[in-house]
Structure 1
């Protein structure tokens, strides 16, 4: 029932967003009174851009992808991100066509919409909280087994704001050797009679059916009385981390990590983003910047403008990675990593590396499909072989296309690797990115990369 309520409420909330988004356009225009919006040449364009920007912001941030374990903190963060993305898109439009609109109109329009979003989310939170506390949708539950897993399950379920109410455990009394925080109601055979008498809607079992065959009988009896019976397997003896379960023709398959980019729709979404972003950079930046930098490089030292090096790409395939040459031509370029006071740097090269301009030709690698705008940074082949022997999980990062920038880099793990801990942290950040990828995360990393470049980084040399 709660899931149905959430779905209906969120659809209504989305519809209300767009109704209000269009309504305040005329309210703000009426207040300004500097021109008639209905006769203004750019009115329709502004309204279309505003609606598209909000739709894209909602989609990218996933504001409405919530379930019955509703997290208001998560929803608030995503809503804030959506508003910021919306304002950014609107400001980009106004940067080009802002002369057509009154500044006071734009400020009033944005202020009214932000005020509406804050009010509507607060109202949604209050209404949902009230419903969660109502007895009509309350779901009582019990847990079979008293062990570390059952105690952790109880804590996690009750930590979420939902309509669950935990009654207690069912376990053989001889197996309980401590004073439990929640009551041990009875043994396993008491479970179904108790559930029927006290309107229990869900039973979670942390016990293994192989060791307790009676659980199958319990599950059958529970379903005969419309009580949901759920098994909670404990995989900690095999792997001490979160795991993910998929199904292939009703066969459960356990994975050690979630990989959003395994979904072909997400891969297409990321590839389209790469093509659009790299094309814009190539047309508006590289078209004039590369010839200028090439001239400076050639004036200072002899040798090619581009430094082309084979590096490790997705699925351990090699590719030709493009960079602007920042060193004098030398025989150690493919075996020795750059150090802080490396004498091989040219004067122009030091500036290029400090500002990350030496990486700009890699947008061409993005267009050819060898790289992505955001992803794990590629290493030279010699280092890939060395690092894979040092860090057990190192090769996992090659499930993805390498990137021009990455989550590890914006968190300070870039440049020379002198300790195994530096490499380990870099790999951990790359794997975290792989498990949490989203378009919003890519945009955030790009923004942080630009911000770090402007303010300067101690590891950039």
Structure 2
């Protein structure tokens, strides 16, 4: 998970991508290729490299990835890079470019990126094996031949960075499912590996629900049970097949970097383009109507179930129920200016500071009050899955009509359904679509914006 529990391994692939971009641009600058427009070439080759990398998943290298897999990534990446490189001559009509010099540039680029890719791969393995850095705490559920093989992989292949902690056997007479769950939580276990053939259907369902509601990664040693009917992803640990229950797009470091880069640019645009002049006007109006601070600051639950201070323009008079009771229709606590800024969602604008600070994203599941997180985590199945990503100023549930006050159980259930869909199916274009729809809704007005 990106930045999970203070680990910064999610930065490795983005940094590698930046270094590769520097390499392809520096080589193009220093080699005698005779560009008519160097700026055009640098822009073209940089954008092309980024697009190809996303399409080929060039930086999607896992801790258990093999050398053959990396060689395949390099081959596919540079086949497309070669075609894009020579297409520049015809596409932009560059007759004076030396084809030989362009070929030399391609070879030098391939050798340099190849060396850097394997250097990164080897150093990271050595870091895990010798320093015990970038590790994941794991438990294995079930005693079987495959489970024992997996434990052997964890113990012998130290370069993978898995710290095996304990094996549980549901077939033992003294096995206690609740005690097992308690151990996983108290021991800060990151990943759970289940031998599906050793679990009853109700035990399997219990582990799935537990992992979903406690932000734990759950994986399976495959067999012929109904688990194969689900959407699963195959991974190989030293030729041992492992099944992953769900693949979350934003756990890919490049996707996370793309989203974070957009968040920073978008939040800076709003802060310097809108808040810098609108903020003082609203501050004056809020203070003229009622006593109290301009900003309403409230603790909310964010990424990885961590608390953070969420900012809003104050829209209510000072009251003791702000941290426990949501605003309802015709709520007497809401001021006149507060009613306007809530209706137009202007009260949410200070959350762009949260986005800039990294507590929130522009788009994501809306952060809930601590009281509501505690309440709904016990009442709504899969509720905690929404905390696998950063909370957002707006979200899929909000543009689909599930914003504001939760009046009945179906409101929160439908909101969580859309939140989980967003977490499991994120794309950059989905974010853009949600932002556009949010602006449209803010202009046209929403029924539950009160």
User: TM-score, normalized by length of structure 2?
Assistant: 0.51
- CA deviation map 1:395-425 (0-9, x unaligned): 1101111100111111111111112111111
For the 8 Å contact 1:390–1:420, the answer to whether it is kept is no
User: Which sections of structure 2, spanning at least 5 residues, go unmatched?
Assistant: 1-36, 58-221
Match of 1:329 among 304, 315, 318: 318
Match of 1:353 among 342, 357, 367: 342
For residues 367 and 377 of structure 1, the distance between their equivalents in structure 2, rounded to whole angstroms, comes to 16
Match of 1:413 among 396, 402, 405: 402
Q: For residue 437 of structure 2, what is the aligned residue in structure 1?
A: 448
**For residues 63 and 243 of structure 1, do their structure 2 counterparts lie closer, same or farther at Cα, with a shift above 3 Å needed?**
closer
The alpha carbon displacement at 1:446 in A equals 0.7
The alpha carbon displacement at 1:247 in A equals 3.0
Match of 2:358 among 364, 369, 386: 369
Between structure 1 and structure 2, the one with the greater Rg is 1
Does residue 296 of structure 1 match 2:285? yes
For residues 358 and 233 of structure 1, the distance between their equivalents in structure 2, rounded to whole angstroms, comes to 52
Does residue 422 of structure 1 match 2:411? yes
Does residue 316 of structure 1 match 2:305? yes
What is the DSSP-based 3-state SS (H/G/I as helix, E as strand, rest coil) of the residue aligned with 1:322?
strand
For residues 257 and 375 of structure 2, the distance between their equivalents in structure 1, rounded to whole angstroms, comes to 33
What is the DSSP-based 3-state SS (H/G/I as helix, E as strand, rest coil) of the residue aligned with 2:282?
helix
Q: For residue 257 of structure 2, what is the aligned residue in structure 1?
A: 268
**For residues 384 and 247 of structure 1, do their structure 2 counterparts lie closer, same or farther at Cα, with a shift above 3 Å needed?**
same
The alpha carbon displacement at 1:380 in A equals 0.3
What is the DSSP-based 3-state SS (H/G/I as helix, E as strand, rest coil) of the residue aligned with 2:234?
strand
Q: For residue 77 of structure 1, what is the aligned residue in structure 2?
A: none
**For residues 257 and 347 of structure 1, do their structure 2 counterparts lie closer, same or farther at Cα, with a shift above 3 Å needed?**
same
User: Which sections of structure 1, spanning at least 5 residues, go unmatched?
Assistant: 1-43, 66-231
Q: For residue 98 of structure 2, what is the aligned residue in structure 1?
A: none
For residues 419 and 57 of structure 1, the distance between their equivalents in structure 2, rounded to whole angstroms, comes to 46
Q: For residue 248 of structure 1, what is the aligned residue in structure 2?
A: 237
The alpha carbon displacement at 1:64 in A equals 9.6
- Say how many residue pairs are matched: 251
**For residues 358 and 317 of structure 1, do their structure 2 counterparts lie closer, same or farther at Cα, with a shift above 3 Å needed?**
same
For residues 38 and 335 of structure 2, the distance between their equivalents in structure 1, rounded to whole angstroms, comes to 50
The alpha carbon displacement at 1:253 in A equals 2.7
- CA deviation map 1:65-107 (0-9, x unaligned): 9xxxxxxxxxxxxxxxxxxxxxxxxxxxxxxxxxxxxxxxxxx
For residues 326 and 59 of structure 1, the distance between their equivalents in structure 2, rounded to whole angstroms, comes to 47
The alpha carbon displacement at 1:59 in A equals 7.8
For the 8 Å contact 1:297–1:305, the answer to whether it is kept is yes
For residues 49 and 455 of structure 1, the distance between their equivalents in structure 2, rounded to whole angstroms, comes to 43
- CA RMSD between the two structures: 3.1
What is the DSSP-based 3-state SS (H/G/I as helix, E as strand, rest coil) of the residue aligned with 2:327?
coil
- CA deviation map 1:107-135 (0-9, x unaligned): xxxxxxxxxxxxxxxxxxxxxxxxxxxxx
What is the DSSP-based 3-state SS (H/G/I as helix, E as strand, rest coil) of the residue aligned with 1:404?
strand
- CA deviation map 1:229-256 (0-9, x unaligned): xxx97542x4763222233343333222
User: TM-score, normalized by length of structure 1?
Assistant: 0.50
What is the DSSP-based 3-state SS (H/G/I as helix, E as strand, rest coil) of the residue aligned with 1:425?
helix
The alpha carbon displacement at 1:327 in A equals 0.5
**For residues 440 and 52 of structure 1, do their structure 2 counterparts lie closer, same or farther at Cα, with a shift above 3 Å needed?**
farther
For residues 295 and 49 of structure 1, the distance between their equivalents in structure 2, rounded to whole angstroms, comes to 48
Which aligned pairs between 1:13-92 and structure 2 lie closer than 5 A?
none
**For residues 454 and 233 of structure 1, do their structure 2 counterparts lie closer, same or farther at Cα, with a shift above 3 Å needed?**
farther
Does residue 257 of structure 1 match 2:246? yes
For residues 234 and 442 of structure 1, the distance between their equivalents in structure 2, rounded to whole angstroms, comes to 38
For residues 355 and 49 of structure 1, the distance between their equivalents in structure 2, rounded to whole angstroms, comes to 43
What is the DSSP-based 3-state SS (H/G/I as helix, E as strand, rest coil) of the residue aligned with 2:236?
strand
Which aligned pairs between 1:40-439 and structure 2 lie closer than 5 A?
234-236=224-226, 238=227, 241-439=230-428
For the 8 Å contact 1:328–1:346, the answer to whether it is kept is yes
Q: Name which structure has the greater RCO, CA cutoff 8 Å, separation 6+.
A: 2
